[in-house]
Structure 1
């Protein structure tokens, strides 16, 4: 006599556990910096620009994630495969790998993209604070370091 077990409910439960997880990449809202807005506000303003503040758009978050989209999708697929075969710790590992790939790509985009140069006013303000760097979006490095990912 052969016994047949319906494994579909268990498979669906395992897949739902991964499907309900999000991998988010960006800048947490956080606290205001010593010198004003939060890193999240700074990021938004630089990603999309602020004509009122004479800040041109310097996209980095969306292009940074897009640059590794295929690799991230591959990691997410591996996470789903691991969940489907009953390996939740492997699924979790692949979710975190996807987030880390995207985080690092956004950070790399910040440092390698040829953005519109900083205005003379901004450069003068930097020099007044003892800074000599001229690269847009990179002053103290605080904003770049705030770019992270979470799996929730």
Structure 2
């Protein structure tokens, strides 16, 4: 009769699998959350961002959201590789998602400030005193944020 062995997870292993299960259930969303910020005229900042990102009949597309990802692909990949290492070494799922949210928020805010976009129309320059698009009061840049939520919740 042979000796039977049963493998058991260490407390660290148990914690890792709990965090992994939590990570599978959560997502981080970076951008503009409807109802959290408005222009002085009451226009939701989520709409203002969409108008600028995609363009309208009167506003040229200024795709700061897409460019914040496309222009930083290698930087994002390097950052995420480090986050995977940190997770394997014990960082919590919530902390990983917070760091991803902050990282992408910073990239998006930087693109709003320093991106190269179609200049403002002469009428807009006269109104706000600047030819720099996407930056007027700073409200849109300040409104970029992130939320961590259960996957699929809040889908509209």
Whether these two folds match at TM > 0.5 is yes
What is the Cα-based RMSD across aligned positions, in Å?
2.6
Q: Which of 24, 31, 37 is matched with 2:29 structurally?
A: 24
Q: 1:70 deviation in Å?
A: 4.3
Instruction: Report deviation, 1:114.
Output: 1.8
Matched residue, 1:66: 70
Shift in Å, 1:14: 3.6
More helix by share: 1
- Aligned pairs for 1:81-100 within 5 A: 87=90, 89=92, 91-100=93-102
Q: Do 1:15 and 1:80's aligned partners in 2 also have CA atoms closer than 8 Å? A: no
Counterpart mapping for 1:1-150 below 5 A = 3-5=5-7, 7=9, 13-30=18-35, 31-51=37-57, 54-76=58-80, 87=90, 89=92, 91-124=93-126, 126=127, 131-150=128-147
**Separation in structure 1 between the aligned mates of residue 72 and residue 43 of structure 2, nearest angstrom:** 29
Q: Judging changes above 3 Å, is the alpha-carbon distance between structure 1 residues 75 and 2 closer, same or farther for their aligned structure 2 residues?
A: farther
Q: CA deviation at 1:118?
A: 0.8
Aligned partners of 1:47 and 1:60 also within 8 Å: yes
Q: Could you tell me whether the CA contact under 8 Å between 2:33 and 2:46 is conserved in 1? A: yes
Q: Secondary structure at the match of 1:22?
A: strand
- Quote how far apart the aligned CAs of 1:134 are: 2.0
Contact 1:75 1:94 in 2 (8 A): no
Contact 2:87 2:96 in 1 (8 A): no
Q: Name stretches of at least 5 consecutive residues in structure 1 with no aligned partner.
A: none
TM-score, reference length from structure 1: 0.76
- What is the TM-score with the length of structure 2 in the denominator? 0.74
Equivalent pairs, count: 142
Report deviation, 1:119.
0.7
Query: Please, which runs of 5 or more residues in structure 2 have no aligned partner?
Result: 150-156
